[in-house]
Amino acid sequence: MITALYIAMIILLIIAASIRVLQEYERGVMFTLGRFTGVKGPGLILVVPFIQKIQKMDLRTVVLDVPSQDVISHDNVSVRVNAVVYYRVIDPEKAVIQVEDFSTATSQLAQTTLRSVLGGHELDEMLAEREKLNHDIQQILDKQTDTWGIKISNVEIKHIDLDESMIRAIAKQAEAERQRRAKVINSKGELEASQNLLEAANILAQNPQALQLRYLQTLNDISGDKTNTIVFPFSSDLGKLLVPPKS
């Protein structure tokens, strides 16, 4: 009786050890006597104890935080850059067989690629063309991790930290650029004003009566100011207009 009970317990333990349940987002890489025999799941999976082994793989997107990296830009500026990488397993077989630890391997590759790509660009490009750099890093990582069954879906550079002296230098550069733009705008305004004055002078020169009317308009404009005495010269032709002819 006791022997039968032991046998029943052993059978129950074997059955329990043979049952695996994989979630919808999981897959199981099956090995039989050390040889790859397929990818199973999701759902109920039966495994022969001591003969078959199954390794679970999670197919959901993983968010990898890349630690801050010291980068020297192409124009010899030292910065600290960190980023975040989004990836997922698309081929469980390759992720298990082709690399020992795909998570660590992806993290190390992301760090070296980040330094390599950013080191080939100047600081202004790092600050102004972040989207392009994100795309370049993502393309390089995705190509290199393809043999591991990993898909790099997105890369985002989070922070580019500069030292205080470089921040002050960038602020001075920005101020100089604003002053330059202000001078350019001012010079364009003066050029347009001078062109308008030249056109007006040409028009008045072609019509002497228009010039005389302009004198009268100017006199009317300044006549409202009674605090000063103004001497306004005018030509003899204008006097003829102001003095009516004798009948």
What is the CATH classification number for the domain harbouring 120? 3.30.479.30
Give CA 135 to chain center in angstroms.
9
Mark whether 158 and 76 lie in a shared domain.
yes
Of 105 and 223, more confident: 105
Q: Say if residue 153 is in the same domain as residue 193.
A: no
pLDDT band at 94 (very low <50, low <70, confident <90, very high): very high
Same-domain check for residues 78 and 51: no
Say if residue 155 is in the same domain as residue 178: no
pLDDT at 66 over 70: yes
What is the DSSP code string of 151-200? EEEEEEEEEEE--HHHHHHHHHHHHHHHHHHHHHHHHHHHHHHHHHHHHH
Q: What is the pTM of this model?
A: 0.67
Asked if the structure places residue 246 within a domain, the reply is: no
State the average pLDDT over residues 25-32.
94
* 27 & 85 share domain: no
Statement to judge: residues 7 and 76 lie in one domain:
no
Same domain (yes/no): 112, 201 = no
Given this model, what pLDDT does residue 23 score? 93
pLDDT reported for residue 33:
92
Percentage of the chain exceeding pLDDT 90: 45
Same domain? 143 vs 211: no
- Residue 230 domain-assigned (yes or no): no
109 and 34 part of one domain = no
Mean pLDDT of 118-133: 90
Q: For the chain, how many structural domains are there in total?
A: 3
Do 76 and 10 belong to one domain?
A: no
Instruction: pLDDT band for 192, please (50, 70, 90 cuts).
Output: confident
Query: Which domain does 89 fall in, by range?
Result: 62-162
